[in-house]
Amino acid sequence: MADPAPTQILDEIATRLANITIANGYYTNIKKIERARLEPFKGYDLPCINYWCTSLDNERNVYDDDNRSLNLYIEIHDLTRDDPFMDVADKLASDVVTALNRADGSPKVSDDADYELGETVSDMVFSGYEYEIGSGQKPWCGALVRFNIKYRCDPYVMNAYGA
């Protein structure tokens, strides 16, 4: 039995986020990516990503298909260094948005976009982001990036079409 669609979608997201490297044209090299991590990252983990979903909504259309919507949050952190925290956070958010719109086989910033996560979803909508800042001896900053992911499936089934 195949994994449920939300799990398949989150697996594809992890694959794409792992492509955030300077060699691929991004602003940073991600050291650690975790799904639904509950404990804060340590300084040696930075730059890092934590991602999770908060809800799955369902609506039946007239053709008896289920249109599902998954609310995704991606938290990305790094040290502020000498740049203003907002500038660093903007670059981090840009890396996330760009990476999610690049196929694993074409991960560079300059590659063509793939907006449907390899045809796993029908739409992925960037909803915005919030700035985050922490303090201490090595202040960190980041962004909480929000997406709404839409996909279709048969009623009473957890797998998406094409998945």
In sequence order, the 6+-apart residues with CB closer than 8 A to the CB of 32 are 41, 45, 48, 49
Contact 16, 97 (CB under 8 A): no
CATH code assigned to 5-153: 3.30.70.1700
* Model confidence, pTM: 0.90
Long-range contacts of 107-116 (CB under 8 A, 24+ apart): 107/16, 107/19, 107/24, 108/24, 108/25, 109/24, 109/25, 109/26, 110/25
Give 74 or 154, the one with higher predicted confidence.
74
* pLDDT per position as a tens digit, 87-109: 999 999 999 999 999 998 999 99
What residues does each domain of the chain span? 5-153
